[in-house]
A and B are shown apart, each in its own frame.
Chain A
Amino acid sequence: MMSETPLEAPIETFPIHKDSDTSGQARKLPPHRIVLILIGIALVASAIFFMRWDWLPNYGDLILQGLWRTIWILIVTVIIGFLLAVPLGLAQAAGPAILAVPARVFCTIVRGTPLLLQLWLLYYGLGSLFPQYPWIRSSELWPYLRQAWPYAVLALSLSYAGYEGEVMRGAFAGVPKGQLESARAFGMRRFTIFRRIWLPQAIHRALPTLAGEAVLQLKSTPLVATITVVDLYSVASRVRQDTFITYEPLLLLAAGYLVITGIIVFLFRRLEKLIPSRLG
Chain B
Amino acid sequence: MADASIIPAGIAGMFDLLSPNPPGWGGNLLRGLANSLQIAVGAFGMGLLIGTFGAYGKLYGGPLVRDIAAIYTTIVRAVPELVLILLLYYAGTDMINRVLEGLGYQRVDISGLVAGIVVLGFVQGAYATEVLRGAIKAIPQGEIEAARAYGMSPTLMMRRITLPAMLPHALPGLANLWLISTKDTALLAVVGFSELTLVTRQAAGTTKAYFLFFIAAGVLYLAITLFSNLILAKVEQWARRGMPSVKEAR
- Scan A254-272; emit 1 where CB is below 8 A from any B CB, else 0: 1001100110000000000
Point out the residue from A121, A132, A261 that lies within 8 Å of B6, measured CB to CB. Answer: A132
Taking the closest CB of chain A, its distance from the CB of B40, in whole angstroms, is 11
Chain A positions within 8 Å of B, measured between CB atoms, are: 30, 32-33, 36, 108-109, 111-118, 120-121, 124-125, 128-129, 132-133, 173, 215, 218-223, 226, 233, 236, 246-247, 250-251, 253-254, 257-258, 261-262
Known contacts A121-B210, A219-B81, A258-B78; A113 and B86 CB within 8 A of each other: no
Name the interface size band of chain B: 35 or more
**Most B-side CB within 10 Å, residue of A109, A111, A121:** A121
B211→A261 contact, CB < 8 A: no
Complex contact B183–A226 (CB within 8 A): no
A contact residues around B250 at 8 Å (CB): 173
**Could you give, for residues 71-98 of chain B, a 1 whenever the CB lies within 8 Å of some chain A CB and a 0 otherwise?**
1000101111111101100110010000
Q: Closest 5 CB pairs between A and B? A: A114-B186, A112-B225, A121-B214, A261-B78, A219-B80
Residues of B within 8 A of A251 (CB): 87
Write the chain A residue with the least CB distance to B74. A258
Across-interface contacts of A129 in B (CB, < 8 A): 3, 6, 210-211
Q: What's the dominant secondary structure at chain A's contact region? A: helix
Please list the residues of chain B having a beta carbon within 8 angstroms of any beta carbon in chain A: 2-3, 5-6, 63-64, 67-68, 71, 75, 77-84, 86-87, 90-91, 94, 179, 183-187, 189-190, 197, 200-201, 204-205, 208, 210-211, 214-215, 217-218, 221-222, 225-226, 248, 250
Bound Cα distance from A143 to B214, whole angstroms: 25
Q: In the complex, what distance in Å separates the CA atom of A257 from the CA atom of B77?
A: 11
A32 B197 Cβ-Cβ under 8 A: no
**Minimal beta-carbon separation of A197 from chain B (angstroms):** 17
With A117-B186, A124-B201, A129-B6 already in contact, the answer to whether A257 and B80 are too (CB < 8 A) is yes
Interchain residue pairs with CB less than 8 A apart (28): A32-B63, A32-B64, A36-B67, A36-B68, A36-B71, A108-B226, A112-B222, A112-B226, A113-B222, A114-B197, A114-B221, A116-B186, A116-B187, A116-B190, A117-B186, A121-B218, A124-B205, A124-B210, A129-B3, A132-B2, A222-B82, A250-B86, A251-B87, A254-B84, A257-B83, A258-B78, A261-B79, A262-B78
